[in-house]
Chain A
Amino acid sequence: NAGVTQTPKFQVLKTGQSMTLQCAQDMNHNSMYWYRQDPGMGLRLIYYSASEGTTDKGEVPNGYNVSRLNKREFSLRLESAAPSQTSVYFCASSTRGNQPQHFGDGTRLSIL
Chain B
Amino acid sequence: QKEVEQNSGPLSVPEGAIASLNCTYSDRGSQSFFWYRQYSGKSPELIMFIYSNGDKEDGRFTAQLNKASQYVSLLIRDSQPSDSATYLCAVVTNAGGTSYGKLTFGQGTILTVHP
Chain A contact residues, CB within 8 Å of chain B: 30-31, 33, 40, 42-43, 45, 48, 50-51, 56, 90, 96-106
Task: Check A97/B101 contact, CB under 8 A, given A42-B106, A42-B108, A43-B88.
Answer: yes
Task: Check A98/B106 contact, CB under 8 A, given A30-B99, A103-B45.
Answer: no
In the complex, what distance in Å separates the CA atom of A30 from the CA atom of B45? 19
Q: Give the residues in chain A near B99, CB-CB below 8 Å.
A: 30-31, 50-51, 96-98
Q: How many A-B residue pairs lie within 8 Å, measured between CB atoms?
A: 58
CB of B17 within 8 A of chain A? no
24 contacts between A and B (CB under 8 A): A31-B100, A40-B107, A42-B88, A42-B106, A43-B44, A43-B88, A45-B102, A48-B100, A50-B98, A50-B99, A56-B100, A96-B101, A97-B92, A97-B99, A97-B101, A97-B102, A98-B31, A100-B34, A100-B49, A101-B90, A103-B43, A103-B44, A105-B42, A106-B42
Q: How large is the interface on B (under 10, 10 to 19, 20 to 34, 35 or more residues)?
A: 20 to 34
Q: What secondary structure prevails in chain B residues at the interface with A?
A: strand
Q: Give the residues in chain A near B101, CB-CB below 8 Å.
A: 96-98
Q: Give the residues in chain B near A101, CB-CB below 8 Å.
A: 34, 46, 90, 103
- For the complex of A and B, the 7 pairs showing the least CB-CB separation, nearest first, are A97-B100, A97-B101, A98-B101, A50-B100, A103-B43, A43-B105, A98-B32
